[in-house]
Amino acid sequence: MTPAVTEAAYSCGPVRLELVVEDASLAGALHGFLAQYDTPWPAIATTIRVAIEGGGAPLGMTEPSGNYLQLHHLRVDRHDRGLVSLGNLGVSMEFDLAHQARIGVPLDRPLPALAEEIEQQLMLLLTRGWAQAGWTPLHAGSLIPPHDNRCVLVCAPSGGGKSTFISAMLRRGWRTLGDDKALLRHEADGVVARALTRRFHLDPSSSRWFPEAGDLEAWPRYSRWTGKRVVRIEGIWPDRLMDSAIPAGVVQLERAPAGPHLAVEALDQIGVMNTLLRQVVLPADAAHARPLINCVAATAAPVRGALIRVGDNAFADPAIAVRLEDELRRLLA
């Protein structure tokens, strides 16, 4: 650890984080996580000042039970004074649900693991900040046909093939807001989706289908838990990144290792709602969950949806991308 107070500011979509970090090595370790939110944003809606200090949870802090949110590595409670969360390694956060947060870090733990737990806390801070600014965080990719401002939202769990599916369409001239993150907002004339990051997370093995991507192994690793690489997509397929689009279709993407290369079923409105709800983190607090659920419903109501199952190695056959493009256009027709 390197005791030296470091100040840094990051504009992450509509939220600006101002960090004051007691430890310079921690500040360096967090840079990659926060710098990923590099999409230009028209205006900053709110600024949150975050003090990251050694010492772990404050004395007298009641261990959270997860009554607000339970994450794999964090338990989050809501109190009168805001959110209180505690991670498995002992990284704690108090957030006043306005402009101030304090993250307490037990500095005797290994730096990589500490940084990951602090990132989890900052993710919680950002998602709440975005929601309070009127945006619904959606864990989904998107595809926008050429000469159009409407998008198909591509939903799947991590590892479900979103980045590969989207890359296959980028090669055919489609554009995107990103491969796994977007913000939605219900405005007077409908829902708008906006991009947060210009970086994709691609598995190096996908270069066998997309040779123009080159040696994906050469890009930085996304995390120590996955072989995926953080790829600046503009370097491979220029002019494919958009800042905003109108959601007009939803795809629930499934991998079908033993199935045919491609199978498509229509989703009804409840199916679309189900698909989208599974891509949104909903806290147990009704006042916080309600605007997110209403935004998902406003997104689901006017769109067409499809469940698309893609077999392993499907993209080795160029005809599959053509068929997928037809299916996507059908959703937007």
Partner 1 sequence: MHEPSDQNWILRPDAVATVLTDRAVILDLRTKFFFSANPTGWAIIQMFETGATRADVHAASRTWGANGVDEAAINGVIDQLLQEGLPAPATTPVAGAPAVPVAAWVTPTFSKHAEPLQRIMVSAFDPGLPLAE
CB of 286 to partner 1, least distance (A): 5
User: Does position 223 bind partner 1 by CB under 8 A?
Assistant: no
Three-state secondary-structure class, residue 323: helix
Site for partner 1 in 257-276 (CB under 8 A): 269-270, 273-274
Site for partner 1 in 130-159 (CB under 8 A): 137, 139, 156-159
User: Does position 228 bind partner 1 by CB under 8 A?
Assistant: yes
User: Does position 88 bind partner 1 by CB under 8 A?
Assistant: no
Instruction: Report how far residue 296's alpha carbon sits from residue 308's, in angstroms, rounded to the nearest whole number.
Output: 20
β-bridge pairing 46-54 and 100-105: parallel
Q: In the set 27, 52, 69, 267, which binds partner 1 (CB under 8 A)?
A: 69
Size of site (CB under 8 A) for partner 1? 48
Instruction: Report how far residue 33's alpha carbon sits from residue 215's, in angstroms, rounded to the nearest whole number.
Output: 23
**Which residues does 269 contact at the CB level (< 8 Å), separation at least 6?**
300, 301, 305
| CA proximity to 136, closest of 268, 271, 297, 286 | 297
CB of 277 to partner 1, least distance (A): 6
Binding piece for partner 1, criterion CB under 8 A, among 30-38, 50-58, 120-128, 143-151:
120-128
Distances (CA, A) of 233 to 38, 62, 201, 331: 13, 44, 9, 25
User: Does position 255 bind partner 1 by CB under 8 A?
Assistant: yes
Cβ closest to partner 1, residue 139 vs residue 150: 139
Cβ closest to partner 1, residue 124 vs residue 213: 124
CB of 93 to partner 1, least distance (A): 11
Cβ closest to partner 1, residue 198 vs residue 228: 228
CB of 65 to partner 1, least distance (A): 13
User: Does position 127 bind partner 1 by CB under 8 A?
Assistant: yes
Q: In the set 51, 246, 284, 332, which binds partner 1 (CB under 8 A)?
A: 284
Three-state secondary-structure class, residue 53: strand
3-state secondary structure 81-148: CEEEEEECCCCEEEECCCCEEEEEECCCCCHHHHHHHHHHHHHHHHHHHHHHCCCEEECCEEEECCCC
Instruction: Report how far residue 227's alpha carbon sits from residue 221's, in angstroms, rounded to the nearest whole number.
Output: 6
User: Does position 256 bind partner 1 by CB under 8 A?
Assistant: no
Positions touching partner 1 (CB under 8 A) are 69-72, 74, 120, 123-124, 126-128, 137, 139, 156-160, 180-181, 203, 226-228, 255, 269-270, 273-274, 277-286, 289-290, 293-294, 296-297, 300-302
